[in-house]
Amino acid sequence: MDDCIFCQIVAGDIPSRTVYEDEHAFAFLDVNPLAPGHTLVIPKAHHETLGDLPADEGAAVFSALHELVPVVEDAVDADGSTVAFNNGEAAGQEVPHVHAHIVPRFDDDGHGPIHALFDGPGELSDDELDDIEEKIGAAME
């Protein structure tokens, strides 16, 4: 994708602070870090969301995450990390090339869990939960 900023980073047309690269995955420091060590992990090929990502490329991204998360945490002496995808525009995804954020976290950084994004648990009845369970389960068979 010529006009995709992350494809241009993979191609070397836009500079990045690259921290990892293999056949299918690529990782670099976020240019506007939410915390020291904020790292993005992407598939090299252009896919917009997780649902678009072929399984082997998804596995490569997860494998890179698995290796990178503890290394990134150590590099900035973090106590943990929030690892997340903004998956789709509705979830706040701004760059339409699937990417995982590794955001190092520190004791008492005060930012809370991803649950802090929401006001509280949604009010769902047992029937509604049963329907959702059945729908997802059936589609996964």
Contact 64, 25 (CB under 8 A): yes
Select from 38, 97, 99, 105 the one that contacts Zn ion (CB under 5 A): 97
Closest-CA residue to 31 (of 95, 125, 90): 95
Cα(9)–Cα(67) distance, integer angstroms: 21
Is residue 111 among the annotated active site residues? no
Cα(42)–Cα(28) distance, integer angstroms: 9
Is the CA virtual torsion 108, 92, 27, 69 positive or negative?
A: positive
Could you say which of Zn ion, ligand AMP, none residue 1 binds, taking C-beta under 5 to 8 angstroms by partner kind?
Answer: Zn ion
Site for ligand AMP in 15-44 (CB under 6 A): 16, 28, 30-32, 40
81 binds ligand AMP (CB under 6 A): no
Select from 20, 33, 36, 46 the one that contacts Zn ion (CB under 5 A): 46
Q: Nearest approach, Cβ of 89 to ligand AMP (angstroms)?
A: 9
4 binds Zn ion (CB under 5 A): yes
Cα(137)–Cα(57) distance, integer angstroms: 24
Catalytic residues: 99
Binding region for Zn ion (CB under 5 A): 1, 4, 6-7, 46, 97
